[in-house]
Structure 1
Amino acid sequence: METEFQPRAGTDSRRGRRTDLTGLRALAIVALLLTGAGIGFVPGGFVGIDVFFVISGFLVTGSLVGEWRRTGRISLLGFYARRVRRLLPTAALVLAASLMLTLFCLPRGRWAETGWDVLASGLSVLNWRLADQNAAAFVPDAATSILAHYWALGVTGQVLLVWPVLLLGIAGWAVRHRARDVRGPLLLTVGLVAVCSFAWSVQRTAGDPERAFLGTTTRLWELALGAALALLGARLTGLSHRLGTVLGWAGAAAVVGAVLVMRPGSGFPGYLALLPALGTAAIIASGAAGGRAAAGDSTAGEGSARPGTAGGGPHRILASRPLQAVGAHCYPLYLWYWPLLVAAHARFGELRPAAGAVVLGGAALLAFLTHRYVETPIRDGRRYAWSPSQVLRAGGLLPAAAVLGGLLFQLTVWPPVQPTPRSAAASASARFTPTPTPATPTAPGAAVLGRSPRDSRAGVPVDRVRSITPNPQDAAQDLPDVYRHDCFPAASGENARGCVYGDRTSTHTVVLAGDGHAASWVPALQSIAEAKRWRLVTYLNPNCPFLKLPLDARDERTVATCARWYDNVHAELIGPERPKLLLTTSSRYPMRRGGQALTGADADEALAEGMRRTWSGLTAARIPTVVLRDVPILGTNSGMCVSANPKRLTRCVTGRSAALATGAGAAQAAAVDKLDRVSLLDLNGAICPARECAPVIGGVLVYRDSQHLTATYARTLTPRLRGALDRILRSAQ
């Protein structure tokens, strides 16, 4: 988690150890565990990570500055060797154990994902992998990565790789320019890093909170805050006893308040992260007040007061023996608790608080054994006498083993998916006719709902069904033909590349344009096109809606690519072969105005207005337009959840109102409401007909993930889609 995650409990003043920080780490890890297991009223336990980041920056920087003051130099080899000795053996052990838990507890469809996660964890880049997937790293459940908590190790690993080099470079520059004290230039540098990182965190949180939560650049300011406290060490020791006491209790109140108030999805980190971060900083500062030594300060020698234990602040509580014992084991405890909870969720379904407590008890036992038989012997045993270069050579084998293990896991337990070769005729804007996959659903799916799906008992979630098609473990591969035919590219592109299905010679052309949500309707539209002898042309692009919108994407290149793609497709539509009908839909996209990300009602209004402007322009160009209302968005990966809970399917439901509110459907309805020549086609009554969205209807798995229909279920919607389109076409005549 961080380089000084678990200093020895009960250390003495002669070594200048901060027992109050050990106790603070203990409280942070307890909050994390309680939130993860769903125990107690601690929804914001995830802010414990922020506490760790600030403490890590303080201790690491204090150690480096202290070494500089004592010796006039910083040994990079020694620094990295200490980090390797403290962190990598335990991390590698838990990675190996997580692979075993995956084999025995997680569904087969999760194995390949875990292999890649192990590889990314070994390279300390899992946080970026999870950010690209918009993965959740708040609370473990059956659908989350078994290694998602390694994101924090990735952040600290990346920072600590460059942090000592940065400090050494600034200190060397200050010496060459005859600076009186190197701390001044260092403090200025750290302050600039903190301000820039915090500003970036606020900006990213507004438009992309998942990436902001997991990003290194958006979390760097918390480590820099701790570093600034270490550089201010001498000044902090001069704070009065009374001020130190006030700071200590104020900081404790801020951290506890964050744990009790913060909730996932509340706009965190952003400005809200200031509460736990500044609270931690106040506790650190108060622990050094009244003449007590700051960590890493060379003045903390014999005769110093025991750090963090004197005074009237919370430091006596934090230095208590129970908290010291927990704090001494918090690093292995952090590594063990998440895999065990994910494995238990996957094996037994949603855990009751009592079951969660049992799992945490197992994590505590493993943490104790790991601390005693792995951490302590490696840190204090014969290997401690190795030279830094020997430690680094030996330690380098551990991430290499993780990378190799992740790759071997892929090759040995998961059959590789053979890529579909690109068609030679599939040039930038060419249209070609792929061979469709003949597929007749082996289960009725939406057909069991009858004429009134909302009144049908067949759409009400149940715990067990006789059979499920497709196999939930293979749900991720139940894709529309456009994926197999390379008509839905792996990455966003700007070319208007169309694929033709149905009767290629027909003069009745129907176009489907949009993103992955539009692609989900291809199986049903294929069947309709073949039956009605339509010429179906698809223009599909991942992460790009067929809308002219001011998107707030992660990078400007994506925004520009999507804009050019829309223009190119629009040019095709208004060409000589205008379609008889345009079908379109998309997921919900973040918006911006004046360079600022929009949230709440402003974002909803801007999205609806952009849709209205786009569709009115299409109808003005004599292109009849039908909007397929966006599907309900589930709160969990349905394929993974059903695979993990085949006998308790009700654990995989999502409330209908929440699922409908999450997607773009409301904005689509608001936009169409003010347009005369645009129709809204809503089949969500046959996708989520009851108060809760059933994961399986008519023996068919409805979703392959949290927001894309399985190709099998989409195909069972064919009669309903055909009937709705017939009514729209008749009314337009």
Structure 2
Amino acid sequence: MADRDSAAGFRADVEGLRAIAVLTVMWFHAGLGGLTGGFAGVDIFFVISGFLITGQLVREVEASGRISLPRFYARRAKRLFPAAATVLVATAVLTLLALPRVTWRDTGGDLVAAAAYVVNWRLAARSVDYLATDTAHSPVQQFWSLAVEEQYYLLWPVLLTLVAVLIRRWRLPVRPMMGVGLAAITIPSLAWSIHLTSSDPARAYFVTTTRLWELGIGALVAVGAPVCRALPPRVGAALAWAGLALIGVGLWTQDTTTSWPGSAALVPVLGAAAVIAGGAAGGWANVGGAAVGGVRGGGWGPVALLGIRPLVWIGGLSYSLYLWHWPLVVVATHVFDGLAPWQGAAVVAASVVPAWVTQRLIENPLRFHPAVVARTRTALLLGLVCSLVGVGTGATLLRAGGHSGFAPIDLSSIPVSRAGAGVLGTGATPRPVEIDQHPVGVTPDPLRAPDDAPRLYADDCQVELAPVEVKVCRYGSPGSSKVLALVGDSKAAQWFPAIERFADTHGWEVRTYLKSSCPWSPALIYGGVDADHRYVACQEWGRAVLARLSGPERPTVVVTSGIRRVAYAPDGTEQLSVMVDGYVDYWQRLGRLGVPVVAVMDTPQPGLTAYVCMTDHPGDFMTRCRGAWNTGSGGLALVEAVKRVPTARLIDMNPWVCPQQGCWPVIGHVLVWRQSAHLTATYVETLAPVFDARLTAALRELRVPAG
């Protein structure tokens, strides 16, 4: 993404490598298959950027003994910010025209973060936020890598400036001292990247600290350029070809199951570094092609391939291509409800048009305008204005997405019998009623549905995918002799509002033992963050919970639920019986200790995201957004397990969730669903009287007094 200058002038092989980087990313995003590691094009960009920018800084220190930070940041601003602002504004317009209103608020926030070059941290936080699992891909997600670069270039030039002071004062050699400074950044970053990728890969992908080493490797090549140029031409050619081959191996063999970045990213990073270093020994090619093969034997290296006119042209356009192709892919995916490979290819190919127009009419005219070239202050002001345009655009979109258009309603203003599940009554079965097809007023607002979750999420009571620690939160009546342990995944957690009401009514203490996507069972299930997606962390966490519930934290009763139907058998197949056996194992162990289990039936999977559908179809949302009834993805396993454990009972709340087997989006003015298959906390609160009656009856059968 950096300027095209290098330590040795314009290098067509580097420009061609830049083309390969952007083409592989575009190929991957088009869904064309084959290049399963195409996402690594971003890592190649990091190496190129580290090489080119550091080359400029090294030459400046060698020439003057210092670095002008204002001039450095001015070069970055005039090169990057105008095109970025253009794409951010265009993305906001596309969002308003083509994407669901429910995405506007999140996208507006992303635009602000992208314009401020901190969007990678926002995406990192979202990637590990269980409540954000329904959030669509951001149309400005590609800005995460630009944010990493800009954060790196806030740090690196300042460090080099300090190194330059030491060099002047002690008359130290420039490049060796810079190499030491680079090592101080690169080595710790690589070590941290390997660690965090293994423990928290979702966050590791986006954060700056796990990516600094990739730019640092490119910077080390720039610092070591004299050594590279001194290599025999054939050695340099062999090194460059080996690097290109290494990149190819990574593109073909690595895929989205590869933990990234971590040590796996060494493949494209070292490959790109080898191409650049080897090319320095073998010469470079100019745009006209007259010097293809370069000097000193450059014809032996891959410069003859990388320096061809089409690749050099694409390399010169790569920054705009990278910015433009992704929002077009996101918008087209929504408009066409998914993209076939040929459609994806057409979309990314079409991005050449706005990319070229942006470069010719906005980026280059502003970048090379005499006033911008001549005055550092003007260039910095240009960058500031562009950033403010992006921030303002995002803020405008945030405001536009602040309300869905549905009339709000205060449930306290209407009788309980007309609010939420209250319309179905509190009897043994739901009262047969005609569901209101045209409700006047809905709560929560569909745009706020994902936030309408049990308060235990705000209390950080659910363990995420990677950790195996047991986190316990306490509610209700602390110190009570009657203790209810709520154990399992989010399908158990969704019932917390009703359980808390039960505890407050009957004087129970509630303790929560919850983990994302992890039903409480010793069975090995699919999921988690491991490269093979076997959720080993869930097993370890489950065993730790069992030890605590069997020891001094032994509760009066365990309430659980789960989203999984099958688990891995010894032969590697996924089977219902293995999941059932796992439940039975844990439940029987507790039963022998005098602790019964109450399982809550898994709620149905409606097959759509109700709140998104509602904002797309505000006029007929009750019919268009009605989900399909089913027993839920984990329901059958729970049913079968309860049959085999005498100390277990089942509560089925689904007749009140999907009355008459109709999974309505709104019942009694209350939005039923948040995410795709979880209930809003508001609707669960209206179910509290029914849940209380069902749980009390189950405890009575188990000879556990509720009150």
> 1:584-733 to 2 correspondence within 5 Å?
584=560, 623-626=595-598, 640=612, 679=648, 697=663, 704-705=674-675, 708-710=678-680, 730=701
1:112 aligns with 2:105: yes
Q: Secondary structure at the match of 2:257?
A: coil
- CA separation of 1:470/1:634 partners in 2, compared to 1, >3 Å: closer, same or farther? farther
Which residue number corresponds to residue 217 of structure 2? 225
Q: Is the 8 A contact 1:287 1:307 kept in 2?
A: no
Structure-2 change in CA distance of 1:510 and 1:412 (3 Å): same
2:210 counterpart SS class:
coil
Other structure's SS at 1:289 match: helix
User: Secondary structure of 2:205's partner?
Assistant: helix
Matched, 1:165 2:158: yes
Whole-angstrom distance in 2 between the partners of 1:526 and 1:479 = 20
**One-letter amino acid matched to 2:228:** L
Q: Per-residue deviation at 1:125?
A: 1.0
- Partner residue in 2 for 1:208: 200
Partner of 1:61: 54
Aligned-partner SS, 1:582: strand
Q: Structure 1: how far apart are the matches of 2:512 and 2:230? A: 65
1:20–1:308: 8 Å Cα contact kept in structure 2? no
Q: Is 1:288 paired with 2:287?
A: no
Pair 1:377 & 2:377 matched: no
Report the Cα offset of residue 276 of structure 1: 0.7
- Seen in structure 2, the aligned counterparts of structure 1 residues 481 and 24 have a Cα distance that, compared at 3 Å, is closer
CA separation in 2, counterparts of 1:633 and 1:209? 28
Q: 2:322 aligns with which of 312, 330, 334?
A: 334
Structure 1 segments unaligned to the other structure (5+ residues): 296-302, 418-434, 449-465, 501-505, 554-561, 589-599, 602-607, 690-694
Which residue of structure 2 aligns with residue 22 of structure 1?
15
Please list the CA deviations of residues 322-372 of structure 1 after superposition, one character each: whole Å capped at 9, or x if unmatched: 111111111111111111111112222101223223322331100000000
- Residue 537 of structure 2 corresponds to none
**Which amino acid in the other structure matches residue 215 of structure 1?**
V
CA deviations on 1:421-443 (whole Å, 9 max, x unpaired) are: xxxxxxxxxxxxxx999412889
Tell me the amino acid that sits aligned with residue 708 of structure 1: H
1:264 pairs, out of 241, 256, 265, with 256
State the partner residue of 2:558: 582
Matching residue of 1:96: 89
Pick which of 722-731 and 116-125 moved more. Answer: 722-731
Q: Does the 8 Å contact 2:239/2:275 carry over to 1?
A: yes
CA contact (8 A) 2:234 2:297 kept: no
Change (3 A) 1:161 1:688: farther
Contact between 2:324 and 2:355, CA under 8 Å: does it hold in 1?
Answer: yes
Name the counterpart of 2:352: 364
> CA shift at 1:156, angstroms?
0.6
Specify which of 125, 131, 152 is matched with residue 124 of structure 2: 131
Match of 2:493 in 1: 519
Structure 1 letter corresponding to 2:378 = Q
1:280 maps to amino acid: A
Post-superposition offset of 1:204: 0.8
Q: Which deviates further from its counterpart, 76-85 or 518-527?
A: 518-527
> Tell me, what secondary structure is at the counterpart of 2:299?
coil
* Offset from partner CA, 1:116-167 (integer Å, 9 cap, x none): 111111221111111111179xxxx992111111111111110011111111
Q: Residue 47 of structure 1 aligns with which residue?
A: 40
Aligned counterpart for 1:396 among listed residues 361, 380, 384: 384
The whole-number CA distance in structure 2 between the counterparts of 1:274 and 1:470 is: 55
Query: What are structure 2's unaligned runs of at least 5 residues?
Result: 406-415, 430-436, 463-470, 523-527, 530-540, 565-571, 574-579
How far residue 623 of structure 1 moved from its aligned partner, in angstroms, is 4.8
Q: Deviations over 1:358-404 (max 9, x none)?
A: 32233110000000001110122223334112321332222233333
Aligned partner of 2:137 among 122, 140, 144: 144
- Which residue is 2:114 aligned to? 121
Deviation at 1:32, TM superposition (A): 0.9
Give the superposition deviation at 1:538: 5.1
Q: Deviations over 1:296-323 (max 9, x none)?
A: xxxxxxx998489922222111111111
What is the aligned partner in structure 1 of residue 475 from structure 2?
498
Is the CA contact 2:186–2:213 (under 8 Å) kept in the aligned structure 1? yes
3-state SS of the aligned residue for 2:111?
Answer: helix
Aligned to 2:534: none
Structure 2 distance, partners of 1:730, 1:684, is 18
Aligned to 1:428: none
Give per-residue Cα distances to partners, 1:234-258, cap 9 Å, x unaligned: 0001112222222222211211222
Give TM-score scaled by structure 2 length.
0.72
Q: How many percent of aligned residue pairs carry the same amino acid?
A: 33
C-alpha distance in structure 1 between counterparts of 2:639 and 2:184, whole Å: 46
- 2: CA distance between counterparts of 1:395 and 1:345? 32
* Residue of structure 2 equivalent to 1:322: 310
- What residue is the counterpart of 1:3 in the other structure? 2
CA shift in 2, pair 1:536/1:379, >3 Å = same
Q: Distance in 2 between matches of 1:687 and 1:208?
A: 38
1:33 aligns with 2:26: yes
SS of 2:195's equivalent in the other structure is helix
- The answer (yes or no) to whether the contact 2:483–2:509 under 8 Å persists in 1 is yes
1:439 match? 420
Which residue pairs with 1:199 in the alignment?
Answer: 191
In 2: Cα distance, 1:52 partner to 1:126 partner:
18
- Name the amino acid aligned to 2:361: Y
CA offset digits 1:176-220 (Å, max 9, x no partner): 2232x1211211221232221111111111111111111100011
Give the 3 Å change call, closer, same or farther, for CA 272–546 of structure 1 in structure 2: closer
Q: Per-residue deviation at 1:283? A: 0.5
Report the residue type matching 1:583 in the other structure.
V
Q: CA 1:611–1:401 in 2, change beyond 3 Å: closer, same or farther? A: farther
Distance (Å, rounded) in 1 between the aligned partners of 2:297 and 2:673? 56
Secondary structure class of the residue paired with 2:367: helix
Task: Give CA deviations for 1:554-582 in whole Å, capped at 9, x if unaligned.
Answer: xxxxxxxx9xxx99x999x979xx75x33
- Alpha-carbon contact 2:559-2:599 (below 8 Å) kept: yes
The 2-side partners of 1:469 and 1:681 are apart by: 36
Alignment of 1:489 with 2:481, yes or no, is no
Which region of structure 1 is more displaced relative to structure 2, 370-379 or 118-127?
118-127
Distance (Å, rounded) in 2 between the aligned partners of 1:391 and 1:72: 24
SS at match of 2:559: strand
**Shift in Å, 1:31:** 1.2
**What is the letter of the counterpart of residue 265 of structure 2?**
A
The amino acid of 1:69's aligned partner reads: E
SS in 1 for 2:34: coil
Q: CA 1:264–1:496 in 2, change beyond 3 Å: closer, same or farther?
A: closer
Conserved in 1, the CA contact under 8 Å of 2:367 and 2:373? Answer: no
How has the CA–CA distance of structure 1 residues 231 and 411 changed in structure 2, closer, same or farther, with 3 Å as cutoff?
same
| Partner Cα separation in structure 2 for residue 167 and residue 633 of structure 1 | 56
Aligned equivalents of 2:610 and 2:247: distance in 1? 35
Given that 1:54 and 1:226 are in contact with CA atoms closer than 8 Å, whether structure 2 keeps it comes out as yes
Partner SS, residue 281 of structure 2: coil
What's the CA shift string for 1:28-60, capped at 9, x where partnerless? 111111111212422221100000001111111
Cα distance 1:230–1:468, how it changes in 2: closer, same or farther (>3 A)?
Answer: farther
Root-mean-square deviation (CA, aligned residues, Å) is: 5.6
* Count of residues in correspondence between the two structures: 624
Maintained 8 Å contact 2:74/2:380? yes
CA distance in 1, matches of 2:604, 2:226: 57
Cα distance in 1 between the residues matched to 2:404 and 2:664: 31
Q: TM-score, structure 1 length as denominator?
A: 0.69
Q: Which residue number in structure 1 is paired with residue 246 of structure 2?
A: 254
User: Contact 2:233 / 2:296 at 8 angstroms: preserved in 1?
Assistant: no
CA distance in 2, matches of 1:234, 1:535: 77
- In 2, Cα distance between equivalents of 1:39 and 1:684: 44
